[in-house]
A and B are shown apart, each in its own frame.
Chain A
Amino acid sequence: MTPWRRRWGLAVALWLGAGLAAAATELHVFAAASLAEALGDIAPGFERTSGVRIVLNLGGSNDLARQIRAGAPADVFLSADTVQMDLLVSTGAVARDDVNAWLSNVLVVVLPAGSPARVQRPEDLLAFTRLALADPEAVPAGVYARRWLQALGLWERLAARVVPLLNVRAALQAVAAENAPAGIVYRTDAALSSAVRVAYEVPRAQGPPITYVAAALARSPQAARARAFVQHLRGSQATRVFERHGFIVLHGR
């Protein structure tokens, strides 16, 4: 091997090694997609005081729970429903005592901003040819929407028009891009896009109870830091951020 080749080989090896070596002071937070912006606002404060870097993995809670069950390196799981967290509790990935119910949200019907359609009552959804939802079989936002429509007796008639998407943000995007004439997302998602408008807000008493739960993972090698982050999410600073984004902060467990 010529010397220059050896040098290049060494450089490539170092680059690969540096890139693939895990940094010890990172906390991997697997979080429901709807929490993206709020967590983006909260993480820097926690990083400054703790010296720990927060690495977010955002997605549908069902998908995140599946990744965690398959052994993905997560330290904290922030789920948009209790079902996915309970799955992890049942497999021992999360200790029951570590689960905190800490946020709630509201479902809204969104339309493209320029749409002339009106939704004054849930039955008006029958006027749309397509309805963008997070996958109603699995993703919390979609499951909540399905349970709301089932309770009203509308699901049977709407099911064939549903466009199931990977997570709630994909449903928001489908409406924003005018690829679907209507969709159901969280109020907090709708507030993020000027390309959609809220046509109907599901009264909290009418919809299923929406509960976000947080937990440090039992097998996290940094369990103490993970618990500290969950505690931080329930602190007064974080509470203000969540409320500013439109979440409802639950008190107690």
Chain B
Amino acid sequence: MAGEVLGADDLRLIAFTLQVAALGTLLILPPGLALALALARYRGPGKGALETLLALPLVLPPTAIGILLLEAFSGRTPLGRALAALGLEVIFSWRGVLLATTVMAFPLLVRSARTAFEEVDPRLVGLARTLGCSPLRAFVRVTLPLAWRGILAGTLLAFARALGEFGATIMVAGNIPGRTQTAALAIFHAHQLGQDGRAAALAGVMVALAFVVLWTSEALARRHAARA
């Protein structure tokens, strides 16, 4: 049935949505894991404030994040002008989709990864270090293998968030068919145009995608919990 309602353009925009979400998730992995590890090990002052700040995008309206990003990257700001001079406009371009979705997804990755890192016994890492491992080697050989399920679950959660982001994306990247329109925006747009059949078909595809991602994430988290 979906085949009749969804055209080639719809399949392209679903592919675009998946690509941007995947690229964004890959991009936030290195800084996200570094921050998560730092938060898991750090015990000093300001930890609570930093963690709260980091969680803000989870609880703020996405439109609030959208307006902050617009204020930072608009063509009127020095940053916006500099990027435009380099041919890297963010507003109303696919880079805007990437920016908005990754900002919204970042805290999910960091929170899950932090929990996973916190569950790694620091004595094991210390043991590896006394046996002559470099810090990096200890991280790769001890910490990562023990925490990988939690990290993967967080990565999938971040990916799912990026797939479905709407509010910040429509403000920063606009809703340009074939260029910045993601599946979430296309559902809204189709509804605006009175094409509720197409909107429902796209929603169905998103339900299926989100189910697979979340189910995988939950399954990994459960196995992680069982091991811990």
Contact = CB atoms under 8 A, between A and B. Distances in A.
B192 A178 contact: no
A82 to B, nearest CB: 17
A62 B192 contact: yes
B69 to A, nearest CB: 12
Contact of B174 (A66, A112, A165): A165
Q: Is the interface of B mostly helix, strand, loop or mixed?
A: loop
A169 to B, nearest CB: 14
Contacts of B22: none
Interface in B186-216: 189, 191-194
Given A177-B70, A178-B76, A179-B74, A137 B193 contact: yes
A179 B192 contact: no
Interface in B30-87: 70, 74-76, 80
Contact of B193 (A138, A166, A174): A138
Given A62-B192, A66-B192, A130-B92, A164 B177 contact: yes
A163 B176 contact: yes
Interface string A156-197: 000010111110000000100111100000000000000000
Contacts of A75: none
A66 B194 contact: yes
A17 to B, nearest CB: 26
B175 interface: yes
A164 B175 contact: yes
B14 interface: no
A76 to B, nearest CB: 22
Given A164-B175, A177-B76, A178-B76, A138 B92 contact: no
Given A138-B193, A166-B175, A179-B74, 17 more contacts: A62-B192, A66-B191, A66-B192, A66-B194, A112-B75, A135-B192, A138-B192, A160-B178, A164-B177, A174-B174, A177-B75, A177-B76, A178-B74, A178-B76, A178-B80, A179-B75, A179-B92
Interface of A: 62-63, 66, 112, 130, 135, 137-138, 160, 162-166, 174, 177-180
The 7 closest A-B pairs by CB, nearest first: A178-B75, A179-B91, A177-B74, A178-B76, A179-B75, A163-B92, A163-B174
